[in-house]
Structures are given as C-alpha cells and as structure tokens.
C-alpha cells in the first residue's frame, strides 16, 4: 500500500461533507463572471486561507481551467509548520480530500529529485501543511481526475526559487503542465496598510517582475507567506513561454468579516501564453 496523506483541514478550513464542498465550490464559480482569456493557462497564483475567507478569490483563477486537461499539476506551497532547507517533494502515493484521492505523478517527481539536490524527501513537511491541501478540492471539481506533484518550500530564497523553476522547466518543457502557487499576501495590518503592501506585490506579478517582487519583499515593501511559490511560478511559466500575467481578483479578510483593523490579503492571478 503506497502512502496516503489524509486530509487534516476538511471540516474546518473547508466542508468535510463532499456534497456540501462541491456545492460551495460551484457557488464560488457561479459568482465569477465569464472571462475569455486569449491564450493557454500555464500558471495560477491562488490564496490558501479557509474557504469562507478566500475561496471566492481563488475561484476567479480556477474558473479559467474548467474542463481543461493537463499531464500534471505542479502545486507549490510554503512550509508553515516545519523548518527545513530546500524543497520537500511528496514523491509517491496520493493525497486525499472528501472528494477522493489525487495520485502523485511519480515519474515527474522522480525526475525532479534526480535533477536537483535541493529537492528532498521530508514527509513531515506535508503532514500538517494546509497550503497544498486547500487547493485540491477546487482542482478536483474543475479537472476531474488528475495527477499532481506536491512541493513544500522550506527555503524561499532567490537562489532556491531559481533552481526550482529550472527543474520545473526541465520536466515540463515537453508536456502540458499547470503550475499552481499557493500564497496569501500581507498579514495583520489595518485595511489601508494591507492594500498598500499588497498593491506592490500585485504590480510586480502583473509585470512579471520577479526581481522587483523579491527586492520589495527583502525591503519590507510587501509581504507574501508564499513568496517563493509565487516567484517560482513566475519564473517557470516564463521559461515555458508565458509572457502575460493578469490579476483576476484581490480582496482581504476585512472585506469578508467587516473587521478592518487587522486583515490578511488574498489575490488570484494567471500566467498565460
């Protein structure tokens, strides 16, 4: 029996009942206006808070892949609970949500491990990490059956971002792959300050300005807990031919709760060719 990473946030961050979960995702998608994108979706940037906070924002990105088919989804998130160097890959088995089991694309994962020694096998980085799991029900609803490569970044430095992007390019260049970055933006500022900080990140994303994005992070001009996944997605999708990025939706927790004294920022964006 191959290893199975069971859900740890079903029933809290999103509904644990499969029919309610599908219904909620369908409602989020219905609330998104239809958008014709002139190009092929290569990467998405999506938030990873509980669905009541950021599910509607995420839906703006996920609606763009409805009914599409990919050889694999490469899903990248930051490590919130385990400190380690490099990038942890879950290289065999599957993840499980209330909507079923999502198998790992083990050939892709094996190739990635062979290409770089920054990619390590550290299952503990995945056990309690929410940033990947929160994306899976959306992907299950929109893609049906799919294979994926789960990556958790313990080191989000510029050097690691560049190397991981290179590895992703090497395994994806002759295949049809979707890259998904899981990240929230600023944390626990008042509403006005959050919009100011998040605006810097969003301008850099829309301009596909990785250097500017990383520099603004280093100098405290913006914030993103998944800055590495965002940077990797911008770098890798550009290598794969994506020359366009589009901000689809921005909001923060204050828009949901009404409490604007201390908020968390959420955005969805797409990289396409």
- Tell me which residues of the chain have a pLDDT lower than 50: none
Instruction: Provide the pLDDT for residue 157.
Output: 95
Cβ pair 225, 183 in contact under 8 A = yes
Instruction: Provide the pLDDT for residue 114.
Output: 97
Instruction: Provide the pLDDT for residue 2.
Output: 77
Instruction: Provide the pLDDT for residue 36.
Output: 86
Model-level pTM greater than 0.95?
yes
Domains and CATH numbers, the chain: 4-272 (3.40.830.10)
d(CA 106, CA 153): 19
Instruction: Provide the pLDDT for residue 217.
Output: 95
Query: φ and ψ at 264, to 5 degrees?
Result: -120, 135
d(CA 41, CA 34): 15
pLDDT in tens, 161-207: 999 999 999 999 999 999 999 999 999 999 999 999 999 999 999 99
Instruction: Provide the pLDDT for residue 209.
Output: 97
């Amino acid at each position: 029996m191959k290893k199975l990473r069971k859900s740890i946030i079903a029933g809290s961050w999103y509904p644990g009942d499969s029919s309610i979960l599908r219904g909620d995702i369908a409602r989020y998608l219905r609330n998104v206006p239809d958008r014709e994108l002139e190009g092929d979706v290569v990467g998405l940037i999506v938030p990873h808070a509980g669905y009541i906070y950021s599910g509607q924002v995420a839906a703006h990105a996920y609606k763009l892949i409805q009914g599409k088919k990919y050889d694999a989804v490469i899903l990248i998130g930051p490590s919130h609970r385990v400190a380690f160097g490099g990038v942890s890959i879950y290289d065999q088995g599957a993840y499980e949500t209330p909507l079923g089991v999502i198998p790992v694309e083990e050939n892709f994962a094996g190739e990635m491990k062979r290409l770089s020694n920054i990619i390590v096998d550290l299952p503990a980085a995945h056990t309690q990490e929410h940033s990947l799991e929160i994306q899976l029900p959306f992907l299950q609803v929109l893609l049906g059956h799919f294979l994926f490569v789960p990556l958790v970044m313990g080191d989000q430095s510029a050097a690691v971002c560049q190397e991981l992007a290179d590895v992703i390019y090497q395994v994806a260049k002759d295949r049809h792959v979707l890259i998904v970055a899981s990240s929230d933006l600023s944390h626990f500022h008042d509403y006005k300050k959050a919009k100011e900080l998040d605006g810097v990140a969003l301008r850099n994303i829309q301009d596909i300005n990785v250097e500017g994005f990383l520099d603004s992070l280093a100098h405290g001009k913006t914030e993103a807990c998944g800055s590495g996944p965002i940077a990797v997605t911008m770098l890798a999708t550009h290598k794969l031919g994506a020359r366009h990025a589009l901000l689809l939706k921005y909001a923060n927790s204050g828009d949901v709760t009404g409490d604007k004294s201390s908020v968390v920022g959420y955005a969805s964006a797409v990289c396409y060719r």
